[in-house]
Chains A and B, each alone.
Chain A
Amino acid sequence: MKIKFTLNKKKVTAEVESTERLIDLLRNKFQLMGTKEGCSIGECGACTILMDGKAVNSCLVLAEQIEGAEIITIEGIADGEQLHPIQENFIKAGAIQCGFCTPGMVVSSYELLNENPEPNEEEIKEAIAGNLCRCTGYKQIIDAVKISAEQLRDSK
Chain B
Amino acid sequence: MKEKFNIVGKPVIRQDAFNKVTGQAKFADDYNYPNQLYAAMIRIPVSHAKIKSIDYTEAIESGLVAATCDSSDIPGAKKVGPIRKDQPVFCDEKVVTSGDVLAMLIGENEYELKQASKKVKVDFEELPILTDIEKAMDEDAQIIHPEFENNLIVHYPLRKGNIDKGFEESDHILEQTYTTPHIEHAYIEPEAVVAVPLEGNRGIKIIGSIQNPHTARKVVAAVLGLPLTKVRIIQAELGGSFGGKDDTMNILSARAAVAALKTKRPVKIHYSREESILESYKRHPYRLKYKVGFSKAGKLKAMKIDLLADGGGYSCMSPFVTWRSVVQATGPYEVENVWTDVRAVYTNNPYTGAFRGFGSPQPIFAQESLMDEIAEIAGISPIEIRKINGFQKGSVTASRQVLRDHEINLLKVVERAAEESNFLSEWNKNKKDQSNAPSFVDELNPIVKPEHFIHPSNNVKRGIGLATSFRGCSLGAEGVDAAAAYISVQTDGSIYLLSGLAENGQGLKTTFSIIAAEVLGISEDRIHYLEQDTGIIADSGPTVASRSTLMGGGAIKDAATIIKNRLNEVALKHFNITDYDVLVYRNNTISNTENNLKIEFSELCQLAFNSAVSLSAVGWYKGPNVGWDEETGQGDAYFTYVYGCQVADVSVDMSTGEVYINKIVAVHDPGTVINIMGALGQVYGGVTQGAGYGLWEAIESEKGMIKELNYDLYIIPTSKDIDKIEPIFIEGEDDHGAWGAKSLGEPTLELTSAALANAIKNATGKRLFNLPLNLEEVLLSKKLRPKDFVRESSK
Minimum distance in angstroms from A62 CB to a CB of chain B: 15
| Interface presence of A98 (CB below 8 A) | yes
Cα(A129)–Cα(B11), bound, Å: 27
With A97-B507, A98-B505, A101-B188 as contacts: A39 and B681 at CB distance below 8 Å: no
Question: How far does the Cβ of A41 sit from chain B's closest Cβ, in whole Å?
Answer: 6
A128 to B719, CA, bound (A): 7
- Contacting residue for B22 out of A34, A37, A98, CB 8 A: A34
Contact: A90 with B21, CB < 8 Å? yes
Q: Is there a chain B Cβ closer than 8 Å to A6's Cβ?
A: no
Separation of A38 and B188 alpha carbons in the complex (Å): 6
Beta-carbon contact of B23 and A103 below 8 Å: yes
Contact residues in A for B720 (Cβ distance below 8 Å): 125-126, 129
A100 close to B188 (CB less than 8 A): yes
Q: Which residues on the B side are within 8 Å of A83 (C-beta)?
A: 18, 21-22
B725 on the A face (CB < 8 A): yes
Interchain CB contact (< 8 A) of A137 among B18, B272, B678, B687: B687
Contact B18 A97 (CB under 8 A): no
> Given A43-B710, A134-B716 in contact, is the A91-B23 Cβ separation under 8 Å?
no
| A132 with B188: CB separation less than 8 A | yes
CA gap between A135 and B688 in the complex, in Å: 9
Report A-chain residues with C-beta under 8 Å of the C-beta of B688: 136-138
Contact of A32 with B11 in the complex, beta carbons under 8 Å:
no
Residue A149 interfacial (CB < 8 Å): no
The yes or no answer to A142 lying at the interface (CB within 8 A) is yes
Bound complex: CA A74 to CA B697 (Å):
31
Question: What residue in chain A is nearest B11 (Cβ atoms)?
Answer: A94
- Is A113 on the interface with B (CB-CB < 8 A)? no
What chain B residues lie within 8 Å of A38 (beta carbons)? 188-190, 273, 711
Q: How far is the CA of A102 from the CA of B720 in the complex (A)?
A: 17
B681 to A102, Cβ gap below 8 A?
Answer: no
Residues in B with CB closer than 8 Å to A132 are: 188, 711, 716, 718
Closest-CB distance, A120 to chain B (whole angstroms): 13
Q: Which of A83-108 contact B (CB under 8 A)?
A: 83, 87, 90-92, 94, 96-103, 106
B188–A134 CB distance below 8 A: yes
Contact of B504 with A140 in the complex, beta carbons under 8 Å: no
Which residues of B (1-60) have their CB < 8 Å from a CB of A? Answer: 11, 13-14, 16-27, 29-30
- The residues in B between 275 and 329 inclusive whose CB is less than 8 angstroms from any CB of A are none
Report chain B residues within 8 Å CB of A124.
Answer: 719
Query: Does A139 touch B at the CB level, under 8 Å?
Result: yes
Report whether B188 and A97 are in contact in the complex, using a CB–CB cutoff of 8 Å.
no
- Interface pair B23/A35, CB less than 8 Å apart: yes
On chain B, the residues within 8 Å of A77 by CB distance are: 22
Closest to B505 in A: A98
**What separation, in Å, do the CA atoms of A131 and B718 have in the docked complex?**
8
Q: A80 to chain B: closest CB distance in Å?
A: 11
A35 to B27, CA, bound (A): 11
Q: A50 within 8 Å of B by Cβ?
A: no
Give the one of B16, B241, B273, B683 with max A CB within 10 A.
B273
Q: For the side of the interface on B, what is the size category?
A: 35 or more
* Cα–Cα distance between A155 and B625 once the two chains are bound (Å): 59
Q: Judge whether A146 is part of the interface by a CB distance below 8 angstroms.
A: no
Residue B231 lies at the interface, judged by CB distance under 8 Å to chain A: no
Q: Which residues in A have their C-beta under 8 angstroms from that of B477?
A: none
Contacts of A34 in B (CB 8 A): 22-24
In the complex, chain B residues whose CB is within 8 Å of the CB of A37: 29, 190
Question: A100 touches which one: B22, B27, B678, B686 (CB < 8 A)?
Answer: B27
Which chain B residues border A78 with CB–CB below 8 Å? 22
Q: What separation, in Å, do the CA atoms of A38 and B689 have in the docked complex?
A: 18
Q: Which residues of A contact B17 (CB under 8 A)?
A: 90-91, 96, 99
B242 located at the interface, meaning its Cβ lies under 8 Å from any Cβ of chain A in the complex: yes
Residues of A within 8 A of B680 (CB): 94, 140
B553 is an interface residue with CB less than 8 A from chain A: no
**Which of the residues B29, B237, B273, B689 comes within 8 Å of A134, measured between beta carbons?**
B689
* Contact status B21-A33, CB under 8 Å: no
Least CB distance, A46 to chain B, in whole angstroms = 6
Q: Are B187 and A99 in contact (CB under 8 A)?
A: no
A99 neighbours in B (Cβ, 8 Å)? 16-17, 19-21, 25, 237, 239, 505
Shortest distance between the CB of A102 and any CB in chain B (Å): 5
A141 proximal to B (CB < 8 A): yes
CB distance from A114 to the nearest CB of B (A): 18
Determine whether the beta carbon of A135 is less than 8 Å from that of B27: no
Asked if B238 CB lies within 8 Å of chain A CBs, one says yes
Write out the residue numbers on chain A whose beta carbons fall within 8 Å of the beta carbon of B237. 98-99
B712 x A41 contact (CB < 8 A): yes
B634 at the interface (CB under 8 A from A): no
- Contact status A140-B719, CB under 8 Å: no
Interface presence of A71 (CB below 8 A):
no
Tell which of B190, B238, B241 has the most Cβ of chain A within 10 Å.
Answer: B190
- Report chain A residues within 8 Å CB of B687: 137
| B157 CB–A CB distance under 8 Å | no
Are A94 and B678 in contact, CB atoms less than 8 angstroms apart?
yes
Closest chain A CB from B717 CB (angstroms): 8
The complex places the Cα of A40 from the Cα of B505 at a distance, in Å, of 22
State which residues 147-188 of B face A: CB under 8 Å: 185-188
| B643 lies within 8 A of chain A by Cβ | no
Which residue of chain A is the closest to B675 with respect to CB atoms?
Answer: A94
Q: Are B719 and A142 in contact (CB under 8 A)?
A: yes
Chain A residues contacting B27 (CB-CB under 8 Å) are 36, 100
Q: A125-B719, A132-B718, A137-B688 are in contact. Are A75 and B681 (CB under 8 A)?
A: no
Known: A33-B23, A136-B684. A94 touches B725 (CB 8 A): no
In the complex, are the beta carbons of A97 and B710 less than 8 A apart?
Answer: no
Q: Which of A33, A96, A125, A131 contacts B26 (CB 8 A)?
A: A33
B681 smallest CB distance to A (angstroms): 5
Chain B residues contacting A73 (CB-CB under 8 Å) are 23
Contact in complex: A140, B681 (CB < 8 Å): yes
A135 to chain B, nearest CB (A): 5
Within 8 A of A (CB), among B664-693: 677-678, 680-681, 683-689
Q: Which of B19, B25, B27, B506 has the most CB of A within 10 A?
A: B25
Q: Which of chain B's residues has its CB closest to A89's CB?
A: B21
By a CB distance below 8 angstroms, the chain B residues around A137 are: 681, 683-689, 717, 722, 725
* Chain A contacts for B185, CB-based, 8 A: 134
**B213 close to chain A: CB less than 8 A:** no
Q: Does A133 contact B (CB under 8 A)?
A: yes
Assess whether A139 is in contact with B22, with CB atoms less than 8 Å apart.
no
A102-B21 contact in complex given A94-B681, A97-B506, A137-B685, C-beta closer than 8 Å: yes
* B476 close to A (CB within 8 Å): no
> What is the CA–CA distance of A73 and B185 in the complex, to the nearest angstrom?
28
Collect the chain A residues with CB atoms within 8 Å of residue B505's CB.
97-100, 135
- Which residues in B have their C-beta under 8 angstroms from that of A75? 22-24
A sample of 11 more A-B contacts (CB under 8 A), given A91-B18, A134-B242, is A78-B22, A83-B18, A90-B17, A96-B14, A96-B16, A99-B237, A132-B188, A133-B719, A137-B725, A139-B684, A140-B680
Binding site for B on A (CB under 8 A): 32-41, 43-44, 46, 73-75, 77-78, 83, 87, 90-92, 94, 96-103, 106, 124-126, 128-129, 131-142
Kindly list the 10 A-B residue pairs having the minimum CB-CB distance in the complex, ordered from nearest.
A34-B23, A98-B505, A99-B20, A100-B239, A137-B684, A137-B688, A74-B23, A94-B677, A43-B711, A33-B30
- Where the two chains meet, the residues of B that have a C-beta atom closer than 8 Å to any C-beta of A are 11, 13-14, 16-27, 29-30, 185-190, 237-242, 272-273, 504-507, 677-678, 680-681, 683-689, 710-712, 716-720, 722, 725
User: Could you list 18 examples of A-B contacts with CB < 8 Å?
Assistant: A33-B23, A38-B189, A38-B273, A40-B273, A74-B23, A75-B24, A83-B21, A94-B677, A99-B16, A125-B719, A126-B719, A128-B719, A135-B506, A135-B681, A137-B685, A137-B687, A140-B677, A140-B684
